[in-house]
Amino acid sequence: MRTEFLVGTPRGPAFFPENVEDAHEICGQVARDIRNQYTLAYYPTNAKKDGTFRTVHVKIVGALGEGKLIARTRNGYYAPTAAASDAAGN
């Protein structure tokens, strides 16, 4: 079984099963991942609507004995522009 991570994307791993047994293992891993996912909300302090890219870093601090924790995140986001906000009615 081959697993690849798509660099620079928030999509997570891509799986390439070579046989049915690999597919079962992959399904089990995906099911575990889905049961252990969380959503974080972020509200920026910079209210400028300038369309610039803003980097976001997520740091995970687990309790002792938690084991290895992994965050699959985006590198950042593009701030809205004044024109886009006006069109959306904001």
Exposure class string for 22-46: b at 16+ Cβ within 10 A, else e: eeeebeeeeeeeeeeeeeeeeeeee
- Considering the domain architecture, whether residues 31 and 51 belong to the same structural domain is answered as no
Residue 32: alpha-carbon gap to chain centroid: 16
Q: Judge contact between 1 and 15, C-beta under 8 A.
A: yes
- Considering the domain architecture, whether residues 49 and 84 belong to the same structural domain is answered as yes
- Considering the domain architecture, whether residues 73 and 30 belong to the same structural domain is answered as no
- Considering the domain architecture, whether residues 50 and 26 belong to the same structural domain is answered as no
Per-position pLDDT tens, the chain of length 90: 555 554 455 566 778 889 999 999 999 988 988 887 788 888 899 999 999 999 988 888 877 777 777 787 888 899 999 876 566 665
* Total count of domains within the chain: 2
H-type alpha helices, the chain: 20-35, 82-88
- Considering the domain architecture, whether residues 52 and 88 belong to the same structural domain is answered as yes
| Residue closest to 70 by CA, chosen among 36, 26, 30, 25 | 36
d(CA 55, CA 44): 11
- Considering the domain architecture, whether residues 2 and 33 belong to the same structural domain is answered as yes
- Considering the domain architecture, whether residues 57 and 87 belong to the same structural domain is answered as yes
> Domain limits at 56?
42-90
- Considering the domain architecture, whether residues 84 and 52 belong to the same structural domain is answered as yes
